[in-house]
A and B are shown apart, each in its own frame.
Chain A
């Protein structure tokens, strides 16, 4: 190996780090301000709420799917459990909704801890077991006493909630999810998780505790959908087993995250914002053909940019990696 000193390279690297962080945190601040003032200037609160919720879900999914390679097809279970934990906390336990949301997060994480042994499985086996658990949760909630979960009809929280407060709660959760993602990407844990994803045996050979690292990623991935599900229940004021545990929630989350690029912090954010906006525009212009057109766009995206928008961009222009979180 040839010797060479390279102070210029070090300076260049530091500059790239600074640019990357500035761009990312600048983007988070812009999102925060933009979403914070939307209720004042725009009446379409539901669209922006949905956007924030899907970005949160896609970012949460990225913690486990992007950083460790596990694809939880039953991801909606945590969203549904968060929604029901909030509903039960408010309606049955008489808790304030402001406390019910953190309570939902705790319940989601505890449920994640309970089913953490499924992480021993891998690939399609993990995905199938995860999906089965979501279906079991849906059936269990529907069969529980009506005075607790409202049975198959669900719960109505409308009288105890303020919609705008739910909107701002979602904004806070979104920002927390984005900051957690940027921390994870830069942290030792994030690097260890990516190493485990690439080659678990090699990571173990370096002393990385594979089981514990996967568990941390898993618990982070369970927290945010539970918070998002609880806040969705708060915002809409109603929940039922069919919509709270709808497998389409998982499907959309996976598509949005993959459209942007799993494994990057920016990918799920970009993928979700682009597809939610495209969905909205198509729906307005072609109310009959909207699903057909959206499906065609997603298929084209997966065909021509299989690593997602950000993943494909950095693959084509590797130097951009230095500026993208």
Chain B
């Protein structure tokens, strides 16, 4: 699997395909039993998440990862942990993220746990952005949030490459994932079944049938 700089790479597949495992392995939460993870030519197998953060990689996990008893502002400040001693940079990063998500400025003093599910997801995304990352790993960002917010979230994700951010996106929502992704990997049982752009997939009847099968399964 190769992720190109400055584009959105989508990873789709049925439950148990290994999508989240792939992201966690890239981020250092898991050590690969085989193969290597390389970042800009550097082998990063065995590096901790903290070391990956230092290399400009951020990760938004599938499960809620906010600190509910801390305020919105404190949650965002924790996103600046890697450069916490550089006050000027922290201040710049906070201003930048408040500009991207103005509603968070209004809620800065609110406890994260008191926000709605959609707002919490935006806060998680915002927290991953304060790091000013080169690469963002997003695991099921729209899981369990309302369709309207889901669209807003995807609209935002689609703009990230314009800011020079490389995105690796895992989502069960094949249509939305394919719509924003420049390149797609199809995983099944831990192996890559296919890869290409969403247009390429349009011509592959077998692949379309396979994806349709998952969709039918999900719809049921």
Residues of A within 8 A of B (CB): 1-6, 9-10, 13, 16, 188, 191-192, 194-195, 197-199, 201-209, 263, 318, 321-322
Contact = CB atoms under 8 A, between A and B. Distances in A.
A204 B152 CA distance: 28
Given A3-B103, A192-B78, A318-B111, 12 more contacts: A1-B101, A6-B105, A6-B106, A9-B105, A9-B106, A194-B69, A202-B65, A202-B67, A204-B48, A205-B27, A205-B59, A207-B50
Nearest to B105: A6
Contact of B61 (A5, A205, A263): A205
Contacts of A209: 50
The interface size bin for chain B is 35 or more
B105 to A, nearest CB: 6
Given A194-B70, A207-B50, A1 B81 contact: no
Chain A, interface SS category? helix
A194 B67 contact: yes
Given A205-B61, A322-B109, A5 B102 contact: yes
A194 B84 CA distance: 16
B77 interface: yes
10 contacts: A3-B102, A4-B102, A4-B103, A4-B105, A13-B109, A195-B78, A199-B65, A201-B65, A204-B49, A205-B49
Contacts of B50: 204, 207-209
A198 B105 CA distance: 23
B154 interface: no
A205 B65 contact: yes
Given A13-B108, A13-B109, A203-B78, A198 B68 contact: yes
A208 to B, nearest CB: 5
Interface string B61-97: 1000111111000100111011010000000000000
B105 A207 contact: no
Contacts of A4: 102-103, 105-106
A11 to B, nearest CB: 12
A198 B69 contact: yes
B185 interface: no
Task: Summarize B's interface: helix, strand, loop or mixed.
Answer: helix
Contacts of B65: 199, 201-202, 205
A206 B127 CA distance: 9
B212 interface: no
A9 B29 CA distance: 38
Kindly list the 8 A-B residue pairs having the minimum CB-CB distance in the complex, ordered from nearest: A202-B65, A207-B53, A198-B67, A207-B50, A207-B82, A3-B102, A195-B67, A207-B81
A188 B84 contact: yes
A191 B81 CA distance: 10
A190 to B, nearest CB: 10
A2 B102 contact: yes
